[in-house]
Structure 1
Amino acid sequence: MHSSFGTRNIGQSFGFKLFCCRVCTCVNFGFVNSRVGLIKILQLTLATLCEGLLVRYGIPAVDTIGQALTSMLTTTAYCFTTTAILMICYCFSEKSSSLIRQSLFETLFNGVACSMYFSSSSYMGFACVVWLHPQFLVRPGFWAYPAMTAAYYMGYAAGILHAIDAYLAFRYYRGCR
């Protein structure tokens, strides 16, 4: 049985070899090591880092940046949750990985995630330049500006990753594996 994510067959793609036997055979490590798996791991990592910065440094400055924070928090939470669910499905079911990936869902999800990241990152960038940067210049220890700047840069990077994933999912959907 050939898999679309670079694994050879179920006996070789699930689990890992430890001495003379395979362990953790319920986990598809072949997916995790594939190009799509690595992209998903990067997406989860960027969403986690963004969310951490937004909660730690953005919430105390919510009076200043307002809806830009809400927009970015919503985007990272939505993208993290959906990507994590997909990752769990793909890691525990080789059948799910081929069925979901060949449907239009992956293409649409990643396209929407890309546009949401670009939109919320642009809004956060505007808020940083207009409202946070002046405060950063006059208030010592005002770390919301550099943290929110890092968050919106990572948001753009996550948007690019979702765009790449949307393209790869679309090619898979069209049969160009």
Structure 2
Amino acid sequence: MPTANRLVILDRDGVINRDSDQYVTSLEEFLPYPSAIEAMARLSRSGWTVAVATNQSGIARGYYDAATLAAMHRRLNALVEAAGGEIAHIAVCPHGPDDGCDCRKPLPGLLHQIRDALGLPSLQGAWMVGDSLRDLQAGETLGCHSVLVRTGKGEHTLAKGEGLDNARVFDDLAGFVDWLLAAQ
């Protein structure tokens, strides 16, 4: 059974795959970082539970549909499995910024979904890895450790410098995983 202190929650765009200001709208545009796929598999093989929490407002905006998103996530799962790992759960917010949902980060609804799907009493002590402040804020609300990666929008987030007092910063997901596995 998973435990929060052996759980890593990842944002998707900019952490696992290349991000785009025009959104990742097709399977062809979904380009995972090879080092991120291997890092996720290494975590899983080392006994960590890996989950993904991703805002996907492109669905609400009509840029792509739920079937396209599902195809991207099937590919992601297949790549991680081929590398010997597993993604325990992918939580998605399909809503736009004005939809009034409780799942769009920085709100913690996606993380609540992960907690419930994994049967955890809390996420206290889990790791939240993102490239934007809203990713980290969602995790910190529930007691997660914060990790900012420089990939995606990470450099821009770091340059702003706001709200990062509790965050560890790494060049990319692989750098964080190297550190985490060495620290166990």
Under TM normalisation by the shorter chain, which class is it?
under 0.3
Give the number of the structure whose alpha-carbon radius of gyration is greater: 1
> What's the TM-score, normalizing by structure 2?
0.23
- Structure number with the higher helix fraction is 1
Task: Tell me the TM-score normalised to structure 1 length.
Answer: 0.24
Return the structure number with greater strand share. Answer: 2
